Amino acid sequence: MADYDFDLFVIGAGSGGVRAGRLAAMTGAKVAVAEEYRVGGTCVIRGCVPKKFMVYAAEVTSQLKTAKGYGWTIGEASFDWKRFIHDKDVEIARLSGMYVTNLQKAGAHLLHGRAQIVDAHTVEILPKDGSNDAGTYTAKKILIATGGRPVKPDFPGAEHGFISDEAFHLPKLPKSILIVGGGYIAVEFAGIFNGLGVQTTLLYRGANILRGFDDDVRAHLADELEKRGIKVVLGCSHQRIEKAEDGTLVSTLTNELTFETEAVMFATGRDPYVEGLGLEKAGVKLNERGAIIVDDHSKTNVASIWAVGDVTDRINLTPVAIREGAAFAQTEFYNNPTTFDHECVASAVFSQPPVGSVGMTEAEARHAFGGADIYRSVFRPMKITFYGGQERCLVKLVVNPEDQKVVGVHVVGPDSPEIIQMAAIAVKMGVTKQQWDSTCAVHPTLAEELVTLREKYTPVEVGGIG
Ligand code: NDP
């Protein structure tokens, strides 16, 4: 039998790679984890975690506004971007350090440097300043967990805009910003910048933001963003960006409208990060999106190579990468064949207000079952009514008319990410609407609306007379 340097060589120390590497190392296997940048990956370093800090910072503005309605008088408030970024970076460094410690405690070897696959059992670490890990290593199994990278559109002047990676380290908060895209990152950062007092415009090329989400959610969120002061521009995109002498960015759109802003941010999607990995040398196959093709066990077409997380472009969410990494480790190192079920994965958009969603949209259910029973409510929650605010929440249940199973739950409003986590358990277990309704409400909460929806919703027909 061949003698390898490692039993497992993981490329990429993000959520999926670290979980797989740590679990494998805990069995006593010899595990190497290579990382070219900082341990923690997108989630910890330039994604979920720093983004959530920014969301918390931005939410304070509306809390201050609400406070006035609750009898508080608060003196002049101000926000210090530089201090916030510094404090955020201290916390990110602490979390990244914890990931390193946990890997080391499990017995994994951390290698600093860019990894390139040489063949089905060999990986080369390229030289990197401050690291002595460069060299060629052999491994019985290789796991690729390199994640994704933001992409920028290609049009004249696009170089003037920045991507989400840079949003976490802007030298100063701009006074105005145009955010391009209608997905998770675009709407989340629109809320962040708007909340921090930046005049914010969201530019999306399609009919409405958050393509793929339930249409009611999309329409409701777009309205709520506007209510909070975000200008939402739909159905057009950039022709060009020009930089004026004073540094102002002038965006000319396909409908000839122009926008002058201090900054432009692109949140126009992420591609699987396979560039320069040497996959062709090992013969690893990619799909038309450039993602690594894997089977249910995250195995590629090469017998000794697996891939998990965003680089496989299945469901690009941190907890999914973690579960894929754990399933790989269980199968290959614990003699416990495990697959991760990608059905019915809940997700949250940390926009303001946030969105929580699990299961089918109304359109998907109508397509799958030839119809759908819809229960929904749009209302002002108690906290908002009390101070006279106009923000509204949306709760919506999608039910299969044949067997009455609840197949989709969608919430837009405060705490919806927390609410949807619990709703996901019921949907995943296949509860019927009757079982759902037998759950007694918790009062007074926003979530109680979900278990008190009794009337079927019929959309109002819009049409001509005669
Ligand atoms: P998304 O794929 O969600 O959205 C990309 C957006 O950019 C879409 O609205 C897309 O339009 C638009 N777009 C793409 N290309 C262009 C172009 N050339 N010009 C104009 N618009 C363009 O990507 P994100 O970058 O927002 O997020 C990446 C992934 O990261 C998400 O899929 C998600 O899985 C994950 N993520 C999850 C978060 C969470 O769980 N809360 C938070 C942030 C990210 P169109 O719809 O027409 O294609």
42 lines ligand 1 (CB under 6 A): no
Q: How many residues does the chain have?
A: 466
pLDDT digits (tens, 9 = 90+) for 117-147: 999 999 999 999 999 999 999 999 999 999 9
Q: Tell the residue nearest (CA) to atom 22 of ligand 1.
A: 268
Which residue in this structure is represented by tokens 């609840």? Answer: 406
Q: Which residues of the chain are under the pLDDT cut of 50?
A: 464-466
DSSP assigned state of 454: -
19 lines ligand 1 (CB under 6 A): no
186 lines ligand 1 (CB under 6 A): yes
CATH 3.50.50.60 residue ranges of the chain are: 6-46+83-149+271-333, 158-268
CB 287 within 8 A of CB 314: no
Residue 238 bears catalytic tag: no
Residue 210 Cα to ligand 1 midpoint, Å, equals 8
pLDDT digits (tens, 9 = 90+) for 83-103: 999 999 999 999 999 999 999
pLDDT for the residue 463: 53
pLDDT for the residue 387: 86
pLDDT for the residue 1: 53
Which atom of ligand 1 is closest in space to residue 154's alpha carbon?
A: 18
180 lines ligand 1 (CB under 6 A): yes
pLDDT for the residue 458: 87
Q: Tell the residue nearest (CA) to atom 42 of ligand 1.
A: 184
Which atom of ligand 1 is closest in space to residue 206's alpha carbon?
A: 47
- The identity of residue 95, as a single letter, is L
Residue 270 Cα to ligand 1 midpoint, Å, equals 7
Q: Tell the residue nearest (CA) to atom 23 of ligand 1.
A: 269
CB 434 within 8 A of CB 373: no
pLDDT for the residue 461: 59
- Given this structure, which CATH class describes domain 158-268? alpha beta
Residue 163 Cα to ligand 1 midpoint, Å, equals 12
Provide CATH code, domain 6-46+83-149+271-333: 3.50.50.60
427 lines ligand 1 (CB under 6 A): no
CATH 3.30.390.30 residue ranges of the chain are: 347-451
CB 120 within 8 A of CB 284: no
pLDDT for the residue 315: 97
Candidate list 112, 238, 367, 443, residue with the active-site label? 443
Burial class (CB in 10 A: 0-12, 13-18, 19+), 35: buried
355 lines ligand 1 (CB under 6 A): no
pLDDT for the residue 459: 75
213 lines ligand 1 (CB under 6 A): no
Residue 370 Cα to ligand 1 midpoint, Å, equals 29
416 lines ligand 1 (CB under 6 A): no
The b-or-e profile of 248-271 (16+ CB within 10 A means b, else e) is: ebbbbbeeeeebebbbbbbbbbbb
DSSP assigned state of 314: S
Residue 258 Cα to ligand 1 midpoint, Å, equals 23
- Given this structure, which CATH class describes domain 347-451? alpha beta
Helices (H) and strands (E) in the chain — how many of each? 13, 22
In whole angstroms, give the CA distance from residue 81 to residue 77.
13
CB 35 within 8 A of CB 73: no
pLDDT for the residue 344: 96
318 lines ligand 1 (CB under 6 A): no
Residue 318 Cα to ligand 1 midpoint, Å, equals 15
